[in-house]
Amino acid sequence: MNANLSSTGRDYTDDQIASLVRDLESLQGGQMAAAALVGCGPRAVPYLRSFLLHGRPRGIYQPRQLAVETLAELGAKDVLLEYLEQSAHSVDAVVRFGEEAVKSTAARELSRFPTRDVFERLQNVARGHLLPGLVETLGGFRNTEAMPYFLRALEDDICRAAAKEAIQKLGVQAVPFLIDAAIKPSPSADEESPSSRQRRRWSLRLACEQQVSEDDWRHLQTLLDDKDPEIAITVSRLALDVAPPEDKERAVRRLIETLPGANWFLKSEAQAALARHFDLARRAVESEIDRRSAAGPREQAMDVILRLLVNLKNQAAHLHAP
């Protein structure tokens, strides 16, 4: 690089600014070049725009990420939006991964500009493709108009954490959307896709974090019969807290019925719920213990659910002992 970095930005020639942009490619001098470009002010924006929009994406994506951060420092929101709206063309998986990291950074940097036009254009981007940084920035607006994108992001392992945080920021405003998502398998109940199941599971869990009303429960009660163990256990735990007596009894039975197909985490959640409401659950738990105890000694020795229920009953007896 021929530019004198001790000069002020106003002293740089156009050729020197172009040279600074090329120096973003240097792993050692990139940060220094970026600082100098910020000092150049608006004059640097067209050169950075050309580098970002017309440069060749690569597996080593940090220089392009640095260009994005420099544009954000310069207030060039329209360039960042233009970049996000640009279609990706690479078929190389490594390059595509790198470019998605750059785009996610661009979306994240746009949180500096919380304006309506940014919100609307980011929603348009989200219709085509979701990124963690995009979901994070949309979440910062705390606007329920973005809920369809957050719900879709719950289906995605990469975007889910950002979607959960965005939904939690909305609080009770999100509950009607979460309930609607929880009760609608896609494409159908009989042929539900794994991604739909993830969306419904997380929608239900996030709804349970909020204050669920009696009216809300009337929409959710059909999930007591859901075939998915996680959904059935989660909604049964909720029922024991908010449902009318007849649904609480159904919830107890459903928790016990679902135990054999549940993983260890769900088993522990179900056990904790039954323990908290053992006065209500006692009869059903004892009935299931009696039913399983009728099996032979070998079957009883292998029966994990029997041991769980016996332990639950013993713990409850200990807690209520005089």
Side chain identity, residue 227? K
Query: What is the phi/psi pair of residue 185, to 5°?
Result: -70, 150
**Percentage of residues in the chain having pLDDT higher than 70:** 95
In a domain, 194, yes or no: no
In a domain, 206, yes or no: no
CA dist., res. 219 & res. 227, Å (int): 17
In a domain, 137, yes or no: no
The set of residues, in sequence order, having a beta carbon less than 8 Å from that of 194 and lying 6+ positions away, is none
CATH number of the domain bearing residue 301: 1.25.10
CB 285 within 8 A of CB 256: yes
For range 110-128, the mean pLDDT? 97
Q: How confident is the model at residue 322 (pLDDT cuts 50, 70, 90)?
A: low
Instruction: Please report the pLDDT score of residue 10 as a whole number.
Output: 61
Dihedral over alpha carbons 281, 286, 287, 292 (to 10 degrees): 130
Instruction: Please report the pLDDT score of residue 1 as a whole number.
Output: 39
Q: What is the pLDDT of residues 285-300, one digit of tens each?
A: 999 999 999 999 999 9
Query: What b-and-e string marks burial along 305-320, b requiring 16 or more CB atoms within 10 Å of the CB?
Result: ebebbbebbeebeeee
Looking at 112, 146, 176, which one is the last position of a domain? 112
The set of residues, in sequence order, having a beta carbon less than 8 Å from that of 119 and lying 6+ positions away, is 138, 141, 143, 145, 146
More confident: 282 or 316: 282
Instruction: Please report the pLDDT score of residue 58 as a whole number.
Output: 86
Tell me how many domains the chain contains: 2
Q: What is the pLDDT of residues 154-177, one digit of tens each?
A: 999 999 999 999 999 999 999 999
In a domain, 199, yes or no: no
Q: What is the pLDDT of residues 3-49, one digit of tens each?
A: 444 445 567 899 999 999 999 998 788 999 999 999 999 999 999 99
Q: What 3-state class would DSSP assign to 296?
A: coil
In a domain, 190, yes or no: no
The vertex-10 CA angle with 7 and 12, nearest 5°, equals 65
Return mean pLDDT, the chain.
Answer: 92
Instruction: Please report the pLDDT score of residue 216 as a whole number.
Output: 92
Residue 152 clears pLDDT 50, i.e. is over it: yes
CA dist., res. 75 & res. 47, Å (int): 14
* Residue 79 structural domain: 1-88+103-112
In a domain, 221, yes or no: yes
Alpha helices in the chain (DSSP H): 14-22, 30-40, 45-54, 62-73, 77-84, 93-109, 116-128, 132-140, 147-153, 160-170, 175-182, 194-208, 214-220, 229-242, 245-258, 264-276, 278-293, 297-302, 304-319
CB 143 within 8 A of CB 179: no
Instruction: Please report the pLDDT score of residue 11 as a whole number.
Output: 79
Side chain identity, residue 90? S
In a domain, 23, yes or no: yes
Looking at 46, 79, 112, which one is the last position of a domain? 112
In a domain, 150, yes or no: no
